[in-house]
Amino acid sequence: MPLVTSKKMLQDARDGGYAVGAFNVENMEMVKAVIQAAEELSAPVILQTTPSTIKYGSVQTYAAMVTAEAKQAKVPVCLHLDHGSSYELTLTCIENGYTSVMIDGSSETFADNVALTKRVVEEAHAKGIPVEAELGKVGGKEDDLVTEADTNTDPQKAKEFVEGTGVDSLAIAIGTAHGFYNGIPVLDKNRISEVRQLVSIPLVLHGSSGLSDEEVQECVRRGMCKVNFATELRAAYTDAVKKALDEEPKAYDPKLFGKAGIPAVKDLVMKRIRVCGSDGKSKGF
């Protein structure tokens, strides 16, 4: 089916008490793997690219790939800009077929984050595209995004932010980190419940790679409606390619390595979809 926006996906997840898995993709093989996993489990799914991934390929290339694969799928697929780094990039993505965008102004002052997000929201909504924003800071490193320390989201500020911007979903900081964790993360899960009481829009969990299934499920139970997975997918794909190279060191056809990566990513995505509780939730689109 054609690409859909994240609006109904996340509203349904909020109302149904589950979360939609959002998976960062880097190449054609990962795109195919994520959509195959979603189809097998009859789950709505979000595919994401970061600014550095877009820089590696292009907005047009990733939009074309995901659009082509989504048209062949029987489940709803959304293409989302993850951690949009500028107003201009969000517009470029929308103009080229992305059906959801994130503007990340979390490194700015509260007032500047509100102003930037509101500007993106006005342009995106005029074209029927929903917007995700971030308040508070998620630690760790993902691509070009580096945060040295976590600053968890203030619930009252979240309420003020949502009212001031009209944003459709909000990523909040609760102690998660981008990349793999060094040690066991300590999550402020009560913070999710506190924000959920004051904010009606869907909440988003970043930095989920490496969290236990139980941690993710508890976050979903408390109100997270979209859960992002990136680093662990990259690792699964790379490990499968390395294994294929070790087993056939004389091979030179790149398709051999791509074929090895697809099932590794697909299996992981299926596990994460089940953890999020979105399996079987593709009806109604």
Active-site amino acid positions: 82
The count of residues in the chain is 285
Closest to 265 measured CA to CA, from 16, 35, 41: 35
Closest to 129 measured CA to CA, from 266, 4, 246: 4
Backbone torsions φ then ψ of 22, nearest 5 degrees: -120, 120
d(CA 108, CA 218): 30
Q: Identity (one letter) of the amino acid at 261? A: G
Whole-Å CA distances, 203 to 57, 172, 184, 244:
29, 7, 23, 39
| Structure-token pair, residue 190 | 């009560």
